[in-house]
Chain A
Amino acid sequence: MELAILLARCRGGDELAWEALVRRFQARVYGIAYHYTGRAEDAQDVAQEVFVHVYRSLDRVLDAEGFLPWLVRLCRNASIDHLRRRKARPPASDIDAQEVPYLAAAGPNPEEQWLADSRRRLIYRALQGLSELSREILLLREIQGLAHADIASMLKVPLGTIKSRANRARLELAQKVLELSPRGAHDPNPGAGMP
């Protein structure tokens, strides 16, 4: 179902439509919250808070095109507020690989799934090695696919700065992935030798 139709039904009080909307975006919201908070339980709390906010604000969502940037902005703000309440900072060091919940199988067999997950864990570790602004720009631009203008508005940074920092962050991430990857980008045994 198209998002515009789904949103219209939600505004009309259709509970089935609301459930469909939650299921469609829960992984994205949870992913953003996890990126900022670094903890599964915190991410869950933040994600729930975001959906409650969305539920109460459905009347203000006028078009489907602006829904995703608005949702990402909500999630970001909620994550930052949660961190302030927790009086903690976003994770700057390596995370416990076991704590990262991985997606449903990307490949048909466990080995391919494991490979995909370990690759994602490697990328996640490389992300933690970047500056906070670079990491956030990559999250919003390269991962969540937001436009530069939306990101500039969200972070209150000039548009030109966002563009230049985005390119620099991509190169930094690529360099870090190369450094962390023991023998190339698609090493069949990427866990071996990894610090």
Chain B
Amino acid sequence: MSCDRFEQVLDRLLAGSLSVAERVEAEIHLEGCRRCRQLEQIARGAAETGLPNGSPDLARSILEHTSGRACDRLRDLACALADGELQDEERQLAGLHLEHCTPCSELFQALVELKQELPGMAELKPPAGFSAAVLQVTTSARREAPSWWFGFKERLAVWTRQPRFTLEAAYLGTLLLVAVLGNPVKVLDRTSPYVLSALQVDVRGTWEAGVRSVPPQWIEWGTGAAVQLQDVSERLAQAGAARGALVIRLLQGDPATWETVYSPAAGALQSSLSSLSAFTRESGKALLGSGPNETAAPATKK
């Protein structure tokens, strides 16, 4: 048997439909022909070339080792095929794949069935008495608020449904708050001058030298705490203050209740300024006069 003849009978050999004589001839040829032996093994799907065993479909074996299976491509076209939107050529190619691919064929069949069934699910029978209830409600609705109010409510519902609504509402709310209450940072601008005049700057020396204070420097406050701190620094420099913590203490009325409102280490300036503002509003006292008694501060003069 020649190689050409062997190729002609190969399919029947695999199908087992060769006559005895032809099968013997083919087997004898296989024993002596390596090429045809490989071809036979490829066709059976269990070749030395590494093809998967037991694959009877030659085309599928070839596809798996070349472009890969076309199922993904079929899935891309399945909906259009079900809708009748494919061109003739693509429709033929897709149909050819479906003839030989069971999973894709089942999927496509399910797609076609759903296309027919889903529209039938558009309506769901409401409970008994539903229409009567609707008619009753709409009859009473006729006597309610005018349509402009209803339209406003509808538009409001649309606005509140937008994700940005919360952000925009918060922004507007903040602007409103600042407009009404003012900038909380600039609390000193509206603070009573009487209280401001009661602030004392107490400079402390290093702890090794003990607490050393200079005579209280009354500060004439102007605008903004930042300016006053700078002013305080200049005064301290003029007074030859040593290094140490700068402490601004607020007179609450009782010299013994000096409250540290600012400490560089603590950095609690903003909250302290808020306390100052609150104190101003609540007491309204006039605190003009000399500064607190030196003994109020735990200072040891050198």
Contacts and interface: CB of A to CB of B under 8 A. Distances in A.
Interface of A: 18-19, 22-23, 26-28, 30-31, 34, 40, 43-44, 47-48, 51-53, 55-57, 59, 77, 80-81, 100-104, 106, 119-120, 123-124, 138, 142-145, 166-167, 170-171, 173-175, 177-178, 185-186
Contact of B122 (A22, A28, A185): A28
A81 to B, nearest CB: 7
Give the interface SS of chain A, mostly helix, strand, loop or mixed.
helix
A81 B161 CA distance: 8
A31 B123 contact: yes
Given A26-B131, A48-B137, A59-B147, A175 B125 contact: no
A19 B167 CA distance: 43
20 contacts: A19-B135, A27-B125, A28-B122, A30-B123, A31-B122, A43-B126, A44-B130, A47-B126, A47-B130, A47-B134, A52-B138, A55-B138, A77-B157, A100-B124, A103-B123, A120-B120, A171-B75, A174-B110, A174-B114, A178-B110
A162 to B, nearest CB: 13
A74 to B, nearest CB: 10
Contacts of A34: 124
A23 B117 CA distance: 23
Given A18-B138, A26-B130, A145 B119 contact: yes
Given A144-B122, A174-B114, A44 B127 contact: yes
A23 B125 CA distance: 11
B127 A40 contact: yes
B121 interface: yes
B79 interface: yes
B25 interface: no
A170 B118 CA distance: 10
Contact of A52 (B110, B114, B137): B137
A167 B117 CA distance: 16
Among B78, B130, B141, find the residue whose CB has the most chain A CB atoms closer than 10 A: B130
Given A22-B131, A56-B147, A167-B79, A177 B110 contact: yes
B166 interface: no
B201 to A, nearest CB: 56
A167 B78 CA distance: 9
Interface in B86-122: 106-107, 109-111, 113-115, 117-122
A81 B109 CA distance: 38
A175 B79 CA distance: 13
B235 to A, nearest CB: 60
Contacts of B123: 27-28, 30-31, 103
A145 B154 CA distance: 25
Closest 7 CB pairs of A and B: A31-B124, A27-B123, A174-B110, A30-B126, A55-B138, A167-B79, A142-B118
| Secondary structure call for the B interface | helix
B20 interface: no
Given A47-B134, A57-B154, A143-B119, 19 more contacts: A26-B126, A30-B123, A30-B124, A31-B122, A48-B134, A53-B154, A100-B124, A103-B125, A123-B117, A138-B118, A142-B114, A142-B115, A144-B122, A171-B79, A171-B111, A174-B110, A177-B110, A178-B110, A185-B109
B150 interface: yes
Nearest to A34: B124
Contacts of A19: 131, 135
Contact of B141 (A47, A52, A59, A102): A52
Contacts of B115: 142, 170
B124 A101 contact: yes
Contact of A26 (B134, B137, B157): B134
Contacts of B118: 123, 138, 142-143
B131 A23 contact: yes
B32 to A, nearest CB: 50
B266 interface: no
Given A47-B130, A178-B106, A170 B114 contact: yes
A170 B121 CA distance: 15
A106 B150 CA distance: 41
Interface in B147-176: 147, 150, 154, 157, 161
Contacts of A166: 79
A30 B135 CA distance: 15
Nearest to B144: A56
Contacts of B135: 18-19, 22
A101 B125 contact: yes
B133 interface: yes
